[in-house]
Amino acid sequence: MAQFTGKVWLLGDDIDTDIIIPTEYLALPTVDDMKQYAFSPLRPELAGQIRPGDIIVAGKNFGCGSSREQAPEIIKHLGVACVIAKSYARIFFRNAINNGLLLIECPLHDDLQEGEEITVFPGEKILAGGKSYPISPLPQNLLDILEAGGLVKAMQKRNGLL
């Protein structure tokens, strides 16, 4: 995976799935219809401000709550290049990888200002504010899923089972 640079949006701890996409919008027909409401209970303007290639940086326990897979899908559909958080809730973590959304675990949040540009070298490091933050690579089986663009595509590539 090649390096990339993006603008940072800062979110706090415990960003739950009801904040990422509130229940009342789950009945909309497609994820593209839903994505304008992403993060609306917390920051209603945010979904309209995020541009493709931007990066979300958050605190601990990102994605806690429901198993609704629309949550990582919406973040991916907004064009977010990756999420960098101190830690993730496990169902969200699995769902994100299964949908081809890159997640990085790194305690970057407290050192950044919103709007800063940072450069990510996947599996290696993050350059931010003149400092370098080491990051560990994902296990190979998860990387395979991510690089294929999600679980279904990865399995089709691997064994045609699906």
Give me the residues that bind another protein (CB under 8 A), please. Answer: 14, 16, 18-19, 22-24, 26-29, 40-42, 60-61, 64-70, 72, 87-91, 94-95, 98-99, 139, 141, 150-152, 155-156, 160-162
DSSP letters of 23-51? GGGTTSSSHHHHGGGTTTTT-TTHHHH--
Q: How far is the CB of 131 from another protein (least distance, A)?
A: 26
Torsion of CA 116, 85, 94, 39, to 10 degrees: -70
Residue with Cβ nearer another protein (32 or 117): 32
Cβ at position 66, least distance to another protein in Å: 5
Residue 66 CB partners (closer than 8 Å, separation 6+):
16, 17, 18, 91
Question: Strand 55-58 vs strand 103-105: parallel, antiparallel, or unpaired?
Answer: unpaired
Task: Considering the complex, state which of residue 9 and residue 37 has its C-beta at the smaller distance from another protein.
Answer: 37
40: phi then psi, degrees, rounded to nearest 5: -60, -35
Closest distance to another protein from the beta carbon of 61 (Å): 4
116 vs 147 by CB, closer to another protein: 147
Nearer to another protein, 13 or 116 (CB): 13
Q: Closer CB to another protein, residue 120 or residue 145? A: 145
Q: How far is the CB of 121 from another protein (least distance, A)?
A: 25
Q: Where are the alpha helices (DSSP H) in the chain?
A: 17-20, 31-34, 46-49, 70-77, 90-98, 140-148, 151-159
The least CB distance from residue 116 to another protein, in Å, is 26
